[in-house]
């Protein structure tokens, strides 16, 4: 079973700061998803990546398959980025997602 | 407008009653999923379906049942056998199992 660890669990930042959220997992995977969950509960998929790096606006996701580690970066953070960020690797054999418990990000104006 | 709808947003039931949560998608996706979220924990897979008239148990299927009679619909029944049914339930869909998943807004079920 894939064990997923996210750090930090909680993060408070000032508007404009550069944010990094980390995700480590224990078994080989075929892809990893980063998700954003807003206070109302709705979840939005941010990235799906299997190697290297992807960028979308102020968000950047990287993955190192050998190290079993992925990071989500937010540049020039804004209060509207406040949400829970969840990483979810997909195990190669099971093809199902295993979800981290999430990182609660609060960006203060 | 394409998307996934779940209804209702909030649901209250008495212990011992079965309750069915609705999930509908108009994205023409083959795969659909039901997850449960409890405070401080990651989402856990209850059931998934890769195609109409087929579904498989996830990690925590006990006390739940599903059906997939139409491509667009994947209702989840929480039976009285589920010991701790109070939770936030999320439905998702994807083109197929290896693709990005799109999530519905969720249903918060409270059983007293």
Interface test with A, best of B103, B107, B108, B109 (most A CBs within 10 A): B103
Angstroms from B16 CA to nearest CA on chain A: 26
From chain B, pick out residues whose CB is under 8 angstroms from the CB of A45.
100-103
Angstroms from B48 CA to nearest CA on chain A: 9
Contact criterion met (CB below 8 Å) for A60 and A53: yes
Query: What pLDDT, in 10s, does the model give residues A14-41?
Result: 999 999 999 999 988 889 999 999 988 8
- Residue showing tokens 């580690």: A69
Work out the pLDDT band at B73, boundaries 50, 70, 90.
Answer: very high
Work out the pLDDT band at A68, boundaries 50, 70, 90.
Answer: very high
Chain-chain contact of B45 with A45 (C-beta, under 8 angstroms) = no
Sign of CA pseudo-dihedral B41, A44, A34, B34:
positive
Pairwise CA distance, residues A3 & A11, whole Å? 22
More confident position, A62 or B100: A62
Provide the 3-class DSSP secondary structure of residue A81. helix
Q: Give the nearest chain A residue to B105 (CA atoms).
A: A42
Whether the pLDDT of residue A100 is over 70: the answer is yes
Query: What pLDDT, in 10s, does the model give residues A50-67?
Result: 999 999 999 999 999 999
Work out the pLDDT band at A92, boundaries 50, 70, 90.
Answer: low
| Max intra-chain CA distance, chain A | 44
Q: How far apart are the first and last CA of chain B?
A: 36
B16 and chain A in contact, CB less than 8 A: no
Which of B92, B102, B106 has the CB atom closest to A41's CB atom?
B106
Mean of pLDDT values over B36-40: 92
Q: Is beta strand B107-111 parallel, antiparallel or unpaired with respect to B10-13?
A: parallel
From chain A, pick out residues whose CB is under 8 angstroms from the CB of B90.
41, 43
From chain A, pick out residues whose CB is under 8 angstroms from the CB of B27.
none
Q: Give the nearest chain A residue to B46 (CA atoms).
A: A96
Share of chain A above pLDDT 90, in %: 84
Mean of pLDDT values over A76-86: 97
Output the pLDDT for position A94: 65
Contact criterion met (CB below 8 Å) for A98 and A23: no
Work out the pLDDT band at B54, boundaries 50, 70, 90.
Answer: very high
Output the pLDDT for position A91: 83
Output the pLDDT for position A109: 96
Angstroms from B50 CA to nearest CA on chain A: 12
Query: What pLDDT, in 10s, does the model give residues B18-35?
Result: 999 999 999 999 999 999
Mean residue pLDDT of chain A comes to 94
Output the pLDDT for position B75: 98
């Amino acid at each position: 079973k894939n064990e997923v660890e996210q750090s930090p669990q909680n993060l408070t930042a000032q508007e404009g700061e550069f944010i990094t959220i980390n995700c480590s997992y224990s078994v080989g995977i075929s892809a990893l998803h980063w998700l954003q969950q807003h206070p109302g509960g709705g979840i939005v998929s941010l990235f799906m990546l299997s190697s290297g790096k992807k960028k979308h606006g102020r968000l950047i996701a990287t993955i190192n398959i050998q190290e079993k580690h992925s990071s989500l970066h937010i540049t020039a953070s804004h209060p509207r980025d406040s949400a829970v960020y969840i990483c979810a690797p997909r195990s190669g054999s099971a093809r199902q997602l295993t979800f981290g418990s999430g990182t609660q990000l609060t960006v203060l104006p | 407008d394409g998307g996934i709808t779940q209804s209702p947003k909030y649901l209250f039931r008495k212990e011992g009653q079965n309750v069915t949560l609705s999930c509908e998608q108009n994205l023409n996706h083959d795969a659909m999923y039901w997850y449960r979220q409890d405070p401080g924990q990651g989402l856990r897979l209850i059931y998934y379906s890769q195609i109409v008239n087929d579904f498989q148990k996830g990690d925590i299927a006990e006390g739940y049942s599903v059906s997939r009679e139409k491509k667009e619909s994947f209702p989840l029944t929480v039976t009285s056998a589920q010991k701790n049914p109070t939770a936030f339930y999320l439905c998702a869909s994807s083109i197929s199992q290896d693709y990005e998943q799109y999530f519905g807004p969720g249903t918060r079920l409270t059983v007293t």
